[in-house]
Amino acid sequence: MKLAIVGAGWAGCAAAVEATRLGHQVTLFEASRTAGGRARRVMATLAGQPVALDNGQHILIGAYAETLRLMRELGIDEASALLRLPLTMQFPDGSGLRLPDWPAPLDAVAGILAARGWSWADRLSLLKVALGWRLGGFACPPEQSVSSLCSGLTPGAMASLIEPLCVSALNTPAERASGQVFLRVMRDALFAQSGGSNLLLPRCDLSALLPEAALAWLAAHGGSPRLGVRVQAIAPAGAGWTVDGEAFDQAVLACPPHEAARLAEGSGLAGDALAAWIGQARGLRHEALTTVYLQASQARLRQPMLALPSNAAEPAQFVFDRGQLGGPAGLLAFVISASTGDSATLTRQVLAQAERQLGLTGLQAVRTIVEKRATFACTPGLLRPAARMTPGLLACGDYIAGPYPATLEGAVRSGLEAARGLN
């Protein structure tokens, strides 16, 4: 078939590659001139020289099976593109969790027992609660929050592990995050497979990590990537669809939910199912993600990623040493998940947080990027839009109904499933 895919984020790139592999003729539209969507390269200037940043500091984990498989299919060498480390959730004072390189779930058990700075009550409460999750099949009522799910944990275990894991994986605070989705993440990352919990830290910018390789593969296999082209309208045309007047057999909307809803509503196609889809897409609440880039030539962390104690005045939950990941020396990326507030205030707060918690002085602000709609709010009982919108029109993206939160793996899986679901 002649297929249009609107959006070259990670979901759209995955859909385009898979559809091409299945024999379809793909045209991939992208409004930006840089592929990657909400996980893409952003250029800045550092000491008068251009430097590649990201619009949000993302990581992968070993359980991202479909993303890693797609990277291999595109010819990406994992060892050079990603730094693989055992799961480490340690703070600047050395406290926290660090898993050994053992088979699962022994690595998780051993890491919990050896966690630095934890009391035995912290360790035992986490082991007990995790055993309950395992015996319960990693399932809970849809309306249960992560905080409620973890009510048997000590405050120390919640603050040192569960809250940082929850906000990093779901970009939603534990008190209003879905326990059901969190359990799926915990099962796949910590208990399902050896290496599933490994941290995979990108050594390059996020556009170079996968999207650009996907576009090159697509062009080499007869596809047509069109960057810098914002689709204005789609419309049904006989048995197919038109995209800005160009005829296609089917279309996949791989753009953000509000943009997909705009295009679907403007198509002029009526029907209860499509109206319900548009309502669900527009009804999603969103969480912001802020990345504050700071730099000082002497700045270096004792490991590539550290967790940070966070509160309203010191909002960053993690810091990454980009200098240890292939970037300029002394470049640090501070991540504020589910962020609130304006860019200038957040920058000032993070500068003070870096000095107090890390002992770093002389840091200069490079750039602060606030993605206001970085992810959907992954709340209990949330009904997410389905992949199939109406005959011949599908959607994909990390917000589409599925077991995962708004992650790179969720986006890739959604794109692959959309391509495989073409009639």
Could you tell me if 251 and 5 are in contact, meaning their C-beta atoms sit under 8 angstroms apart? yes
Domain that holds residue 265: 2-40+206-284+379-420
Residue in the block written with tokens 């209860």: 272
DSSP notation for 280-310 = HHHH--EEEEEEEEEE-TT---SSSEEE---
Could you tell me if 30 and 227 are in contact, meaning their C-beta atoms sit under 8 angstroms apart? yes
- How far is 118 from 116, CA to CA, in rounded Å? 6
138 occurs within a structural domain: yes
Percent of the chain with pLDDT over 70: 100
Could you tell me if 418 and 395 are in contact, meaning their C-beta atoms sit under 8 angstroms apart? yes
For the chain, the residue count is 423
pLDDT above 90 for 297: no
At 190, the pLDDT band (50, 70, 90 cuts) reads: confident
- How far is 117 from 370, CA to CA, in rounded Å? 33
Q: What is the mean pLDDT of the chain?
A: 95
Q: Are residues 296 and 360 in the same domain?
A: yes
pLDDT number for residue 152: 93
Q: What is the mean pLDDT of residues 325-336?
A: 97
* H/E stretch holding 253: strand 250-253
- How far is 374 from 402, CA to CA, in rounded Å? 18
Could you tell me if 337 and 317 are in contact, meaning their C-beta atoms sit under 8 angstroms apart? yes
Q: Are residues 222 and 248 in the same domain?
A: yes
At 359, the pLDDT band (50, 70, 90 cuts) reads: very high
Q: What is the pLDDT of residues 298-310, one digit of tens each?
A: 999 999 999 999 9
Q: Are residues 274 and 390 in the same domain?
A: yes
The closest alpha carbon to 12, from 41, 36, 34, 42, belongs to 36
Q: What is the mean pLDDT of residues 45-73?
A: 94
- How far is 97 from 95, CA to CA, in rounded Å? 7
pLDDT number for residue 211: 98
At 285, list the tokens.
């609440």
Q: Are residues 219 and 319 in the same domain?
A: no
Q: What is the mean pLDDT of residues 169-177?
A: 96
79 occurs within a structural domain: no
At 194, the pLDDT band (50, 70, 90 cuts) reads: confident
- Which of 176, 197, 218 is at the close of a domain? 197
Q: Are residues 134 and 234 in the same domain?
A: no
pLDDT number for residue 104: 84
pLDDT number for residue 191: 83
Q: Are residues 180 and 191 in the same domain?
A: yes
- How far is 380 from 382, CA to CA, in rounded Å? 6
pLDDT number for residue 216: 98
Q: What is the pLDDT of residues 243-274, one digit of tens each?
A: 999 999 999 999 999 999 999 999 998 889 99
pLDDT number for residue 109: 92
Q: Are residues 391 and 246 in the same domain?
A: yes
pTM: 0.95
Q: What is the pLDDT of residues 96-110, one digit of tens each?
A: 999 998 888 899 999
pLDDT above 90 for 140: yes
Amino acid identity of 182?
A: F
Q: Are residues 275 and 410 in the same domain?
A: yes
